A and B are shown apart, each in its own frame.
Chain A
Amino acid sequence: MKGRILRALLRKEMIGIRRNPLVPKIIFMLPIMTMLVIPLVATMDVKHVGVAVVDNDHSQLSRQIITDINAADALSVDALCPSFNEAIISLEGGDTDVILTIPPDYEKNLNSGLSPKVDIQANGVNATKGTLGAQYTAQSVALTLQQYMSQTGHPLPSPDISVLNMYNPTLNFRNYMIPALIVILLIIICGFLPTLNLVEEKETGTIEAINVTPVGKLTFVLSKLIPYWLIGIIVVTIGMCIGWAVYGLKPQGSIPGFYLAAILFSLVMSGFGVFIANKSNTMMQSIFVMFAIIMIFQLMSGLFTPIPSMPEWAQYFTYAIPPRYFIEIMRALYLRGTPIAELLPQYAALAGFATLFCASAALSYRKQN
């Protein structure tokens, strides 16, 4: 009996989704846009650091320093300024990010055994770009100096350090973002859409028609959620295929592990969405509440910024953010090829959140206010 009601309700929902002018478009466009556009944009790499050089030395060495900076990967000499004031103006105007000042008689002092220092000023408005840009410049200068000293016969003691970049040898930021972007797909498909759908029924009053029937709470909520779970899985698959076809990125770990995480996370998000919907009366309310919470989810989950950089209290707080675990699983599966057994804590946490949110979704649904 229950199965038949559920089947009928599911059919109604499917037709509702298909006939909605916007939803099928969203389902189709969202993964494409997210997976194609966001990786192009979402890069924190510090790539184009403009350097303004104030060369007070005009020696062979200072010219060598300038050429080497210009040749470095992330740096380019965008302005050669005769005075520091002009360099500051170019920095204030946003043309350059770092000012390198080479003091007068730099080469002469260096050769006479003093250790003169160049001065580096970085624009700190964007803290990451400022610090990394300054460090790159300093490194480039240090390298030039090392070469210069070994040419003139006073080699500096250089430590023997080699660097090995594991799991992402080309240091491609996209490889880091793409696995985590799947979280955005699931948040929108399984979180936003069912909420809007449910609240819309409330606003137009059609939910009353359901409330007077003998349909059980659980059946009704399930009938709202199952379509979005299916859509979520389809969208995630499309996302994975795009990642593979366009960026050549596929999970190094197990595919069942990938789907298990996706299913658990869609349970979490949809349960959460329905809970919000049950508690709100208008679409505007539900949108704003969802928006506030999703904002916190995205920012605190380590999607864009590293969690270990947060202060300790905030790091504890991230344990209560379900996407954190999903993103960790995705990145581990995609890049590091971690076996599922080593990710058990994350899966367990997701399962816990799924149970909690789905239970509160079913319990908070009231046929009467």
Chain B
Amino acid sequence: MSIFQALIKKETLHVVRDRRTVFVIFFIPIILLLLFGFAISTEVNCVRVMVVSENHTDQTREIIERFRTNPYFDFQGIVSPVNADLQLRKGNTDAVVYLRADEGSLKSQIVVDASNTTVAQAATIYLQNVIAGKSVSPALVNTLYNPQLKSAYNFVPGIMGMIFILICAMMTSVSIVGEKENGTMDLLLVSPIKPYSIIIGKLVPYFVLSCAILAVILLLGYTVLGLPVSVSIINVIWVSLLYIILSLAIGLLVSTFVKTQLSALMVSAVIFMLPILMFSGMIFPVDNMPLPLQWFSSVIPARWYISAMRKLMVQHLPLQYVLTEVAVLAGMTIIILILAIKKFTKR
């Protein structure tokens, strides 16, 4: 046992002594959480709008007044048609509303800069509603789970899904491969330590590090970002631990395939990072993708983890709703662990 402890101590020192990496590892999730929580919003909440109006009547004045007071608009003034075209082309405004009062009836045209389709679609709906005034909306609209429509609710699970793969998979694979590359692995292999003790000794410090990061993320999420606290936090924690173990297993598997640290980094970056960013549903919803890509996305562990986290953290659903996700994650963990151990002991 004392040998094992010594191994863990060696690995821990290894991790901790690289101050800058440890700093960056804690810095990335915190910055990401804060950016997503406070700076980035996929919701369109500020449409810059200009008005071109040929003749002023009470009606047009009333509409302009509504633009001015509505917090969803940044009213940039009344301009001439030529200037409106120029500003639209320069990208200084999102939409121009042409108003013409013709013998009592009001005609209006909305010209939106559709180069950004998300903004254009939202702007069109907002503008139509505001111009039409009170006569519209036969519906009472209410949003469940996220009444303030914070984007953070959608992103926190995504960030967690990415960070753990990044730290566990990348760092373990690089550390094991580094040992191979430097030749120090041979020293360990000829020592009386069993191979699996070497591996577990490698994994434990990263596991502890990941748990610390999980604690930081949850703490920030539940305090600063104001995710609602509930009993399901226990489920959040143990599903996350399962995911961390899965990530460690992936790192182990990668380390048995590649020979140099550089290729370990490349593999982690290309095979893990990009697909996670793109296919896991972190930013872009999975059900918008073409079908073959949706199938592809189901081999990405982060997709299942993120989906489970959304249900547990934001919707507070009981455990039975995430059974599929947990089962898939557990299955992946077992398969990858078996593969990695088989590959590892052969050598």
Contact = CB atoms under 8 A, between A and B. Distances in A.
A123 interface: yes
A340 B256 CA distance: 52
A128 B43 contact: yes
Contacts of A343: 90
B109 interface: yes
Interface of B: 18, 20-21, 24-25, 27-28, 31-32, 35-36, 38-48, 74, 86, 88-91, 94, 105-122, 124-125, 128, 131-133, 135-147, 149-151, 153-154, 166, 171, 174, 261-263, 265-266, 269-270, 278-279, 283-285, 287-290, 293, 307, 310-311, 314-315, 317, 321
B138 A138 contact: yes
B42 to A, nearest CB: 5
Nearest to A328: B91
B40 A44 contact: no
Given A118-B138, A118-B140, A159-B108, A127 B149 contact: yes
Interface in A289-317: 289, 291-292, 295-296, 299-300, 304-306, 308-311, 314, 317
Contact of A124 (B116, B122, B144): B144
Contacts of B149: 124, 127, 130-131
Nearest to B35: A299
A328 B90 CA distance: 10
9 contacts: A43-B284, A45-B117, A121-B142, A122-B142, A166-B113, A171-B117, A284-B18, A288-B20, A305-B41
B336 to A, nearest CB: 23
Interface in A228-287: 280, 282-285, 287
A118 B143 CA distance: 14
Contacts of A304: 42, 283
A18 interface: no
Given A141-B138, A309-B46, A311-B38, A288 B25 contact: yes
A166 B136 CA distance: 26
Contacts of A45: 117-118, 121, 288
Interface string A121-147: 111111111111011011101100100
Given A168-B115, A291-B28, A196 B137 contact: no
A93 B307 CA distance: 11
A151 interface: no
Contacts of B307: 94
B153 A115 contact: no
Given A161-B110, A163-B112, A300-B39, A176 B117 contact: yes
B109 A163 contact: yes
Contacts of B46: 308-309
Given A131-B143, A331-B116, 5 more contacts: A121-B143, A132-B121, A141-B139, A145-B138, A296-B31
Contact of B290 (A40, A122, A162, A314): A40
Contact of A165 (B107, B120, B269): B120
Given A41-B284, A122-B143, A173-B117, A292 B27 contact: yes
A131 B72 CA distance: 14
A195 to B, nearest CB: 11
Nearest to B136: A142
Contacts of B283: 42, 304
Contacts of A121: 142-144
A48 interface: yes
A118 B137 CA distance: 9
Given A22-B263, A130-B149, A292-B27, A336 B117 contact: no
B133 A159 contact: yes
A251 to B, nearest CB: 13
A172 B89 CA distance: 18
A117 interface: yes
A343 B122 CA distance: 26
Given A40-B289, A299-B40, A127 B154 contact: yes
B154 A125 contact: yes
Interface centre among B18, B25, B112, B139 (most CB of A within 10 A): B139
Contacts of B86: 342
A28 interface: no
A222 B137 CA distance: 63
A119 B153 CA distance: 24
Nearest to A279: B20
Nearest to B32: A295
Given A117-B140, A127-B153, A309 B108 contact: no
Given A118-B139, A284-B21, A309 B42 contact: yes
A282 to B, nearest CB: 7
A125 B288 CA distance: 16
B91 A127 contact: no
Interface in A14-67: 21-22, 26, 37-38, 40-48
Interface string A91-134: 11110000010000000000000010111111111111111101
A167 interface: yes
A171 B125 contact: no
Contacts of B293: 37, 40-41
A175 B115 CA distance: 7
A9 interface: no
Nearest to A100: B139
A119 to B, nearest CB: 5
Contact of B119 (A22, A162, A300, A306): A306
B139 A331 contact: no
A335 interface: yes
Contacts of A280: 20
A164 interface: yes
